[in-house]
Chains A and B, each alone.
Chain A
Amino acid sequence: MNPYRENLSKPLSVNPLRVSQAVGGVLALQGFFRSLPIIYGAHGCVEAVGEMLSQHYQEPVALQNVTVHDSNLIFGGSESAQDALELAVSRYKPDLIVLIGTSLTEMVGEDLEHDVKLFIENHSKTLGDSLVLSLQMPDYEGSLETGYARMTERIVEAVIGLSGGTNRKKRRNRINLLAGPHLTPGDVMELREIISSFGLEVITLPDLSSSLCGHLLVGNTKLSRGGVPLDYLDKMMTSGCTIAVGECMEGAARAIEQSSGIPYHVFPSLTGLQASDDFFEFLRKQSRTEVQVKYRWQRQILLDSMLDARNAYRGKRIIAALEPDHLLGLSGWLEEIGIRSFRAVSPSVSPVLERIGGETLIGDLEDMERLAEEGADLWIGSSLSEQGALRQGILFEPMGFPIFNRLGSFLAVSVGYRGTTEILGRVGNALLRAERGTHK
């Protein structure tokens, strides 16, 4: 059985929930400074990825293409790939290029690894320290989450390969933060701030908080607009520990541990009281520093707002269609505040699905509408699912990816005590709106 198939009871997908891997891969790359993803596929593959990311983040996205044409299919596309790489290097001088394969290149049997090797051999002089990699990201498996995680892992492995060194001296006050795809740039910013407040130095990867947060520092550019610089990543191998946020990031964390002996800790989610307590306790021990007054206040405020919000949440039936890690986090804090039921649809298989409180199935947005028909007070999901909510007459709260036509959704914070308070208010207000029936 293929673990990635959506709802096995039907042959097709109706209103797909799944966002393809390549979107996740391109997204992750935006969190590395001066990087450039090059998608190797038909025209449409590139267009859709760029448009979706740009609409969600309201930001330009670094992305180039090697297009597969019918002539390539017959004569092979290696030459096109070389041209694309050459163009990218000569015109923009990126620090990091990843050639991303699609289902199409996989089916035709293009050897991306060979293309990249050949290119590096021919351009060893002009390339300098630039890193050129390849990664197959066919859209017949996985989803945004796996694509994002695989891209991060690929880059981590490349950095390990470059810096080697298992025996380098570690610095206890330096921490690697592997930020999962369910975190917004605003979330990542908040996490960096929290960790820094313990006197720890943070290396974030991918770091969307400095690239897709929306800023005007670099003007118009074809490369990623910010993110963690490649030379800074070398320091990653001398950190005291690694924090992975989101289970999908464990692979990259494990790779770092195996090569350098840096221990890692996975936080499935950092939303909710318990999750935040665990996180602060971990940082307290790691840094041997006390929690700042500011955060003690934030915790007080959270406790109070949980009491305030209890009625808005009591007895409510909430359904959600999100990526696995995101679902796990959401179900966790909803359980904490106390609702009647939580049911969810996930686009792809993940080991975390078993840990989600409440019924969870792998499926599409048609399945989500079925859940809605059984009765629900709030529908949580990406903008792709908004129509379904409208059809079912259930109040819709945007979350996940992609979100269109909402200002600043990528800056919303839902991690830590302050973030939990915010999301508690946001979702709680939606529930109150539903109670008043003003959405109909």
Chain B
Amino acid sequence: MPKGKNNLFVEPDCEHNGQEKKGCARPRPGDVSRGCPCAGSLTALMPIADAAHLVHGTAACLESGWGKFGERNDFGHLSGYGFSTQLDDRDMAMGGENKLLQSIGYIAANYTPPAIFVYATCITVLSMEDLDSICQEAEEIWGIPVIPVHSPGFSGSSGNMGRRLAGEALMDRVIGKGAPQQDKPAEFDINLIGEYHGKEEGRSIEALLAKAGIRVLATITEESHFAEVSCAHLAKVNMVVCSRSMITLARKMKDKYAIPYFEGSFYGEREIRFTMRQIGFHFGNPDLDKRLHRYIRKEEERLRVELAPVRKALKGKTVVLYTDGMESWTYLTMLQELGIKIAAIGTNRNAQEDMSRIRERLHEGTAIINDCGDNQILQIYRERKADLMIVSGRNEFVPLKERIPFLSIARNRHISYAGYAGVRNFAEDLLETLEQPVWVTSGKRAPWEG
């Protein structure tokens, strides 16, 4: 492992950093396709919705990160746009540098974005294009930031690597560049760095913090404006939300701007309480502390009353999770708080951090299966006589085709599970899913099947 100054495999703030580095793992073939770093960078940065995002590669490179959910349309005039140089075989042979420069020009002239992010891909790295100098040239010509993101598909085996590389691009080229806006001084400004589930959750988290008197300055990797992200260095505290993929960014901001950071999540009462207390601790303001305390108590009390009937109905139910990444641990606390037994967790593409976070949150008696096959999870579901399967991503077809009751916590859902309202939503979704008559009717035999 090279000891270069910018080695993303070395992260002093990561608990696994002391372990021996494995180097390049040989890819395993099969049905588990891990994420693409380029797609990871795209999903992390595309939410900067007023900037243009130009993928410099062949047609499919943009496909993996754009247009999947088709729902972003009210956040900046370039929200939901995808730009691609769509290299053809001639470009691949002769180089696409000129085309890239022209493309940047086209975007600058027709869309006047505050910045353009340019994404390297497998193809452009192989043809050894000098992305940095083209971006610099473009910047000089059109006078807007043109930011290269170096995360070709083969640079790693997960979207996480892409998110980290996106973080690098932000640290180097975006954060700290923005001038403070006059109407924006506030006492309790924080940044949210990390991931959650789309628009709805972003809004509910911001609303929750606002009630406690805390303002979110920039949401990094979620919907934001370029100007907000470029001013992120003005925040007092950074919160790393759920995913650790951007911990390097938080650590670098701590080193450079002396902004302390903490990790937390908004799923489940205990996690929210912990998060709020961390915020209180970092601001060190007695007034804020009191406010936070009062707020937590009020909300928890309300939830206790409201959820009593749902809790009663859910008590003793057993679930099996077949989820990947952060979805495999973010909901565990909430499930336990609702009195639900977790019989097993099957995961497939988890990083070490995800595994250790699962273990942190679990009591004994839960089977944790890493590299879990479909049949394995089905078997354990049946053995433990579970009532419900919780799945993410394309895993949803496993219980569906076996007519097993399941709740899909996919990324494109329109309901928020974050915050106190999220606990309510989650509990209701669980209960209503369990009670759906379709689990029985879909197993009914036809009259002629005897």
Contact = CB atoms under 8 A, between A and B. Distances in A.
Interface stretch (B82-90, B206-214, B352-360): B82-90
B78 to A, nearest CB: 10
A376 interface: no
Nearest to B80: A387
Contacts of A405: 70
Chain A interface mostly = mixed
Contacts of A60: 394, 397-398, 401
A369 to B, nearest CB: 11
Contact of A65 (B33, B58, B80, B397): B33
A390 B24 CA distance: 45
Nearest to B33: A46
A44 B82 CA distance: 17
B36 A42 contact: yes
Nearest to B403: A216
Contacts of B59: 13, 16, 18, 20, 139-140
A211 to B, nearest CB: 13
Contacts of B333: none
B153 A44 contact: yes
Nearest to A383: B70
Interface string B50-93: 00001000111111110111101100000011111111111110
B69 A12 contact: no
A87 B28 CA distance: 10
A158 interface: no
Given A51-B68, A66-B29, A71-B24, A220 B402 contact: yes
A262 B417 CA distance: 60
Contacts of A102: 60
A44 B397 contact: no
B398 A220 contact: yes
A267 B401 CA distance: 36
B33 A20 contact: no
A404 interface: yes
B64 A47 contact: yes
Bin the interface of chain A by size: 35 or more
B58 A80 contact: no
Nearest to A48: B64
Contacts of A4: 88
Interface stretch (B99-107, B174-182, B424-432): B99-107
B106 A80 contact: no
B378 interface: yes
A84 to B, nearest CB: 3
Interface in A374-391: 383-384, 386-387, 390-391
Contact of A68 (B24, B61, B127, B154): B154
A103 B90 CA distance: 12
A303 interface: no
B45 to A, nearest CB: 15
B363 to A, nearest CB: 29
Nearest to B85: A12
Contacts of B129: none
A141 B27 CA distance: 27
Contacts of A15: 67, 81-83
A161 interface: no
Contact of B92 (A22, A45, A103): A103
A344 B4 CA distance: 52
B378 A107 contact: no
Given A13-B84, A140-B58, A43 B157 contact: yes
A2 interface: yes
A104 interface: yes
Given A15-B81, A16-B82, A216-B401, A84 B29 contact: yes
B402 A44 contact: no
Contacts of B80: 387
A63 interface: yes
Contacts of A49: 60
Contacts of A153: none
A384 B67 contact: yes
B314 interface: no
B401 A12 contact: no
Interface in A243-268: none
Interface string B390-411: 0000100110011100000000
Nearest to A391: B73
A99 B249 CA distance: 39
Interface in B14-30: 24-30
Nearest to A402: B67
Interface string A31-51: 000000010011111111111
A210 interface: no
B247 interface: no
Given A44-B65, A138-B89, A221-B401, 16 more contacts: A11-B85, A13-B83, A13-B84, A15-B67, A43-B35, A43-B37, A50-B33, A54-B397, A60-B397, A69-B154, A72-B27, A72-B154, A80-B29, A84-B29, A103-B58, A387-B80
The 5 residue pairs across chains A and B that have the minimum distance between CB atoms: A44-B36, A42-B153, A84-B29, A48-B64, A60-B397
13 contacts: A15-B67, A16-B82, A43-B34, A43-B35, A48-B36, A60-B397, A60-B398, A69-B154, A80-B27, A87-B30, A103-B60, A140-B58, A220-B374
Interface of B: 24-31, 33-39, 54, 58-65, 67-70, 72-73, 80-92, 99, 102-103, 106-107, 122-123, 126-127, 152-155, 157-158, 374-375, 378, 394, 397-398, 401-403, 442
